[in-house]
Amino acid sequence: MAARRITTILAFLAIAFIVTEALQSVASSARSSTLTRTGTALHAGTSTTPLPFAVTKVQKDGQDDMQDVSEMCVEVFFNEENSSNLLKQMQLAYLRNLQYGDLRMKFFTSDAQSDLFMARQVIPASQAPSNRGAKPLDVTKTKIYNAKYLDNSKEDDFVLGEVLGFVEVTEKRFRLGEQYESTGSFSEGDDQRLRDVRPFLSNLSVREDARKSGVGSALVDACEDAIQQWPRQYSEIVLQVEDQNQLARKFYEKRGYTALFADPACRRFDTNGLILRRVPTTKVAMRKLLGSRRRKQSSSSSNSPFFMDVVDTVRQLVGSK
């Protein structure tokens, strides 16, 4: 009897914790919606006007960054309809905690090489929401995409605002099959387990109002560049995308990724029912062969429609006054 009572109490406490998290999430969603509308007002017509942003690495001590990224990813993947349903919010609270734990694991419990990148909106410091901490931006070291769209109506410093996108690339054992191994990423003498280890790109997510700003492309480029700096040299990068997600497949195909095979044994989270479930889904494995270190970006970045050097941009804006 005592054991049963203890089990019941623990179950009740667990439910109470999840409900509390869900209620806090509802309040947080309401605040986030307000902040999003404020940010949109700063850049009128975000559906057609690119948002200025900067891509930075998520650092080991960046707990706030991990929290912001977790919230953004779950909203993008599971709650773009901005549901306030209590059961749905309970599921989202669980998924946020799961995502946050996974990010921390990359730094504290995993020996695999990995890099995590986020894109944050760049805004003038005077326009940063007072109820949300904005991060200072070092304009001498950081480059801004879409810098010509910055609202610089008065002398101001720039800060990093809300998270617009996220991606990660990690060494992962991902076997392709013998027919694809001739161009694989391994050296003579590697055992089979090591030959199956590849850079695996995952969790690419971009907030809806930033999807015409080049955020996804910039994040993928950051991953491909980072791989070239890893201790072990790789000649490819792989990923998986759901078979039904045609927009995502076209996005990767435009960037040189080729579909290899479909895996019907994959699973994904489904938040549409009363309980959170993992349901079967088919995912397509895609691969891109990497060439030599990509130096061209540094020489041609000033010509890119989405990319400008911050220092040059600030000089232009100041000089135009």
Query: Per mean pLDDT, which range of 33-47, 208-222, 273-287 is the poorest?
Result: 33-47
Identify the pLDDT of residue 132.
Answer: 58
**Ordered DSSP codes for 86-140:** HHHHHHHHHHHHHHHHHHHHHHHT--S-EEEEEEEEEEEGGGS-TTSPPEE--TT
| Residues paired with 262 in a beta bridge | 284
Q: Give the C-alpha separation, 119 to 98, whole Å.
A: 21
- Tokens 């076997």 correspond to 175
Q: Give the C-alpha separation, 240 to 256, whole Å.
A: 14
| R_g of the chain, CA atoms, integer Å | 22
**Ordered DSSP codes for 137-205:** --TTT--EETGGG---SSS--EEEEEEEEEEEEEEEE----GGGGGG-S--TT--HHHHTEEEEEEEEE
Q: Share the mean pLDDT of the chain.
A: 78
Q: C-alpha angle with apex 40: 48 to 150, nearest 5 degrees? A: 75
- Tokens 């994040």 correspond to 219
pTM of the model: 0.75
Identify the pLDDT of residue 107.
Answer: 87
Tokens (6 digits) for 290: 């990497």
Query: Per mean pLDDT, which range of 39-43, 46-50, 126-130, 227-231 is the poorest?
Result: 39-43
pLDDT 10s digits, 30-79:
333 322 222 222 223 345 789 999 999 999 888 999 999 999 999 999 98
pLDDT 10s digits, 14-32:
454 444 444 444 344 433 3
Identify the pLDDT of residue 23.
Answer: 42
